[in-house]
Structure 1
Amino acid sequence: MGDLWVGNLEESTTDEEIREFLCRYGFPLSDSIKRVTGTGDRPAAVVRFNSVEPHVVRTFQPRIHNIFWKNHKLVVQVMPERNED
């Protein structure tokens, strides 16, 4: 399971817009999107790919890291694997 942190999102961006954006840049269809509020002006989202390993998600990450989308420069990182047991 690979998780992708997408930060500095435009606040009004919908989950569907995030999915469409990622697919446009070659990402597989995500399984879930969890919104993360922070102390800054721009929210983030954790996009989960249940059937994709983190090293695979990492190959796609450079395609969208630092890209300018919806008037904001995105910050995108692959989150480290964690054991949820």
Structure 2
Amino acid sequence: MADLYVSNVDADVPDEDIKAFLVKYGFPPFDSIQRVPGDGFRPAVVLTFDGVEPELLRRLQPRVHDMFWHNRKITVQVMTGRSEE
């Protein structure tokens, strides 16, 4: 399992748009999404990819990191160190 943190995603962007955007750039479809509200700036999403190793996301991350999307510059990071419960 691997998680991807994408910040500065407008809260109004539908989950389907996020999935389509990432798949367009070679990511596998994510299995779950968690919205992280911001204080008016930089709301984010945490995407979980079941059955995907973090190394795959690390190789794909540069394709979309710092990209301008939906009128915002997004920041993309692979989250590590999360324990599976």
Which residue identity is paired with 2:53? Answer: E
Q: Residues of 2 paired with 1:76 and 1:19: CA distance?
A: 14
Tell me, yes or no, if structure 1 residue 29 matches structure 2 residue 29.
Answer: yes
Q: TM-score, normalised on structure 1?
A: 0.93
Tell me, yes or no, if structure 1 residue 12 matches structure 2 residue 12.
Answer: yes
Q: TM-score, normalised on structure 2?
A: 0.93
Which residue identity is paired with 2:41? Answer: D
Aligned length: 85
Correspondence list, 1:32-71, <5 A: 32-71=32-71
Q: How far apart are residue 40 of structure 1 and its match?
A: 4.3
Stretch deviating more after TM superposition (70-79 or 9-18): 9-18
The residue number in structure 1 matching 2:80 is 80
Q: How far apart are residue 37 of structure 1 and its match?
A: 1.1
Q: Residues of 2 paired with 1:22 and 1:63: CA distance?
A: 9
The residue matched to 1:29 in structure 2 has which SS? coil
Q: Residues of 2 paired with 1:67 and 1:80: CA distance?
A: 22
Stretch deviating more after TM superposition (37-46 or 60-69): 37-46
Aligned-pair identity (%): 52
Q: CA RMSD in A?
A: 1.1
Q: Residues of 1 paired with 2:69 and 2:36: CA distance?
A: 18
